[in-house]
Chain A
Amino acid sequence: MQRLKAVVKQEVQGLNGDEAVALAVKQCDVDVIAAYPITPQTIIVEKLSEYVANGEVDTEYICTESEHSAMAACLAASATGARVFTATASAGLALMHEMLFVTSGCRAPVVMAIANRALSAPLNIHGDHSDAMAERDSSWIQIYCENAQEVYDSIIQGFRIAEHLDVQLPVAVGLDGFTLSHTLENVMTLPDEVVNTFVGTRQFPVVLTHEGKTVPYKLDPASPMTMGPVALPNYYFEFKRQQEEAMKDALKVIPEIHDEYAQVSGRRYGSGLLEPYALEDAEVAIVCLGSTAGTVKTVVDELRAQGTKVGLLRIRTYRPFPAETLVKALVNVKAVAVLERSMSFGGGGGAVFHEIRNALYDEKTHPFIVDYIHGLGGRDTNPAQIKGVYEDLKKIVNAKHVEDLVRFLGIRE
């Protein structure tokens, strides 16, 4: 995170990641929340319930009987014109799977916090990215945060991104289970009215109805619209292509909104898509997502102090995947280690690894790339292991060869 001069006075509050989500939601004038409790997201819905009970928010709060119903209710409320929020994790997100595609397909700008957690079995309540990575093709924008501050900032930006007329796609903001969701940090918070002004009221794209009228895209008895129809092979494909175009537009919109927010808050996370750290002259680099970046930065500082040219590229926005800027950031590095907290079983490495290798394919020269699966089920990744990765990268540079393409960090062999 880069700190600029903020234009407004901010209050420092001690918040864990979940509380930071809830506070941001409170300040965004959300109309409907529909959610179901699941660890490690529960503090979010508890805190929101407290705001509702104390009249601190003007929000309809639906405690649904499952995450599937939570997402269905969110989608329906959003279709009716409401600004909508939900939160989930792990099995809850997996249960939503069907509805995630319907929500993005209906172009409902729902914002969701995911307290990233491992998937069963065995049952595990701790952090990794398996849950959200399994939904990477669901046409949701995915942002992964490094700390509670970024969680707060990203939820606020999330509503602007989702509701942007060129985007109209749902946004998921990921915070690593327990590492971020339950860890108390200092969070700079904006005054309510500043957030309110930044987020504004929900805008609607104008669409042509079957009656030939141009109306806002929502369920309104004054201008009846059929939403979520059947589309056969003659039309379905175009709907999907439009979602892809919206994702491309989001690549432009996310940095714009990120910049605008930085003007107000004084906080910047790289471009909003990628956050490079000591990368300009780096010979070897780690690419990672989420809270792991905090540990990597500490190690980078330490190694840099010893004169080693190491760097980090944190992927903040994973969907849409910022391939073009990622290539520019990495093309001159000699070796790259991708650290990821999920697996694509049988796929030869994780999804992030695959996508980075794919992005670099057309370059004349490109770095050696190695994949490290780490931190599954909340397994700690410590500075010593990160140092080990940088040492491995140096070996790869010297050997001009990658021995094992996919490795496991911090595992009992």
Chain B
Amino acid sequence: MSAISEGKFTTKDIVEKPELFLSGHRACAGCAPATVLRLIMKATRGPTIVTEATGCMEVASTIYPYTSWAAPWLHTAFETAGSNASGIEAALKILRKKGRIKDEKVDVIAFAGDGGTYDIGIQALSGAVERGHDFLFVLYDNEAYMNTGIQRSGGTPYGASTTTSQAGKILPGKLEQKKPIGDIMVAHDMPYVATAAPYYWKDLITKTRKGIEVDGPAFLHVFAPCPRGWRSDPSKSIELSRLAVETCVFPLWEAVNGEYQLSTPSKVIALAPQKKKPVREYLQAQGRFRHLFTPQNEKIIDEIQKITDTKWQKLLKKCGFPQQKPTA
């Protein structure tokens, strides 16, 4: 793997960089994925081709004859972000070699939501990574099929009510846990995997640039609250992404060549465990967990706390930190 840039971005650099994801798109109020895409496109290093799976961001950004994309952009289907990136990268490589396009490095970014990554798109993603194509895959994770109306995905967390994992008289929402997609990608022996959240925007931009600069495939898992699907306050989306990190529901880390390391916001909690907030705080800010705050389902909140703690401990171990006491 080539040297990864330190990603020393200043606010001024970011502000001055021309927008590649433009305003005027039709995303909902408070849509974190739209903010994520804009920030990621701020981190490009040069000419870039974007491909995007079917999903909220694809639909909201390209309703013909309008587009929000100032970069060349391709959408083909739901499950094809990985395979499209493969084709674009291979074409760029050979056309450059044959002198049929300008002799310059063109970066490739693939965007997909949780459906297009955890579920229907995982085969194409896994194949593309196994083949070692040089591209950055960005998962904007809003934890359900929001584009089709909030159906559960492999990325939906335990206990969340969606339209296909409804909280009812006998079922308390989704019964299964979120798939450990980041770890699955690390297990591909790929050079760069990281998680990010839009509240920590500099961290997000730095990681994006690292993912672009690395030779070979990179995977960036971005936490992206969806007020429509999460039944949360549209003005609180970015704060929710902070709370997810502070509760260790969504810790921030990087795995460079398979070596896990905590990113600063999560490292702060690892070093000062008292700063770790209870998951209850995160859950109660969202209507999709409202049914858990009843005498019947209260125990599920405890369970979610336990699951979160166990996962956090596992991550700490991978990052070389000593074990910590669970949150009371």
Contacts and interface: CB of A to CB of B under 8 A. Distances in A.
A355 B231 CA distance: 53
19 contacts: A63-B131, A65-B127, A66-B127, A69-B124, A69-B127, A72-B84, A73-B90, A74-B87, A75-B76, A76-B51, A80-B49, A81-B100, A81-B101, A84-B87, A84-B91, A99-B77, A221-B72, A224-B72, A225-B73
Contacts of B82: 69
A224 B74 contact: no
Interface of A: 31-32, 34, 58-60, 62-66, 68-70, 72-82, 84, 98-99, 102, 106, 201, 210, 219-232, 235
Contacts of A219: 49, 72-74, 88
A102 B74 contact: no
A66 B76 contact: no
A60 to B, nearest CB: 4
A210 B91 contact: no
Minimum-distance CB pairs A-B, first 9: A76-B87, A65-B127, A221-B47, A73-B87, A80-B91, A72-B83, A69-B83, A229-B62, A77-B87
Nearest to B127: A65
B94 A82 contact: yes
B71 interface: yes
Contacts of B71: 221, 224
Contacts, number: 165
A73 B95 contact: no
Contacts of A60: 90-91, 93-94
B69 A32 contact: no
Interface in B126-157: 126-128, 130-131
A76 B127 contact: no
A110 B105 CA distance: 25
B85 interface: yes
Nearest to B82: A69
A24 to B, nearest CB: 19
Nearest to B106: A221
A77 B85 CA distance: 9
A84 B90 CA distance: 11
- Candidate in A34, A73, A82, A99 with the most chain B CB atoms within 10 angstroms: A73
A225 B49 CA distance: 10
B8 interface: no
Given A65-B130, A80-B92, A210-B67, 16 more contacts: A31-B94, A60-B94, A64-B83, A68-B83, A69-B127, A72-B77, A72-B79, A73-B84, A76-B80, A77-B91, A80-B91, A81-B95, A102-B76, A224-B70, A225-B73, A227-B72
